[in-house]
Amino acid sequence: MIRVTALPRLRRPGPRALVALTAGLALALAVVIAARPAAAASTLPTTQPSDAKAAKLTVMTKTVSKFNPSGQGFNGVQTIVFAPPKGKSILQGFATTTGGNTGSMIIRSTQVVGARAYVVRLLFPGSQGTPGVLHVQLQLVPRS
């Protein structure tokens, strides 16, 4: 026969614990209320920052929708190189894919090489469907 015992009784919190809990909740509420107007007041600038204008920063957008991957086993791979216009250097780049079937094209890596080329390495795993479109944005500065 299994003997069942009652669970131990929990003690009620004393008045000091209740006062401390109430004070902590009031302090947390005050912090949340004080932080809310500051967060709502900060917005992104609508005009280009003055330091970006001074640097003569420009953005170049490229779109690639036709791909010719070479075979490497069951997977296809492709490397696409983007060069800046004459007189410009690449500061940084950003590549993303849209459309197509999920997993049909994967961006393996992106790299700025010597401020003169932006390299995007793509993987096409095992004929997974329509690859979609590759979008690339490059931030350019005048070559010095």
Domain with 59 in it: 50-142
Tokens at residue 81, please?
A: 């190189």
Tell me the sheet residues that pair with 60: 138
In a domain, 36, yes or no: yes
Contact 116, 89 (CB under 8 A): yes
Measured between alpha carbons, how far is 84 from 59 in angstroms, rounded to an integer? Answer: 10
Say if residue 38 is in the same domain as residue 80.
no
In a domain, 4, yes or no: no
Say if residue 37 is in the same domain as residue 58.
no
- Per-chain mean pLDDT for the chain: 79
Provide the whole-model pTM. 0.60
Number of domains observed in the structure of the chain = 2
Say if residue 71 is in the same domain as residue 132.
yes
Say if residue 59 is in the same domain as residue 93.
yes
- pLDDT, tens digit, for every residue of 101-122? 888 888 999 999 988 999 999 9
In a domain, 89, yes or no: yes
Say if residue 91 is in the same domain as residue 60.
yes
Say if residue 66 is in the same domain as residue 23.
no
- pLDDT, tens digit, for every residue of 15-43? 777 777 788 777 777 766 666 555 444 45
Measured between alpha carbons, how far is 88 from 144 in angstroms, rounded to an integer? Answer: 9
**Residue 101 has what pLDDT?**
85
In a domain, 97, yes or no: yes
Measured between alpha carbons, how far is 100 from 106 in angstroms, rounded to an integer? Answer: 11
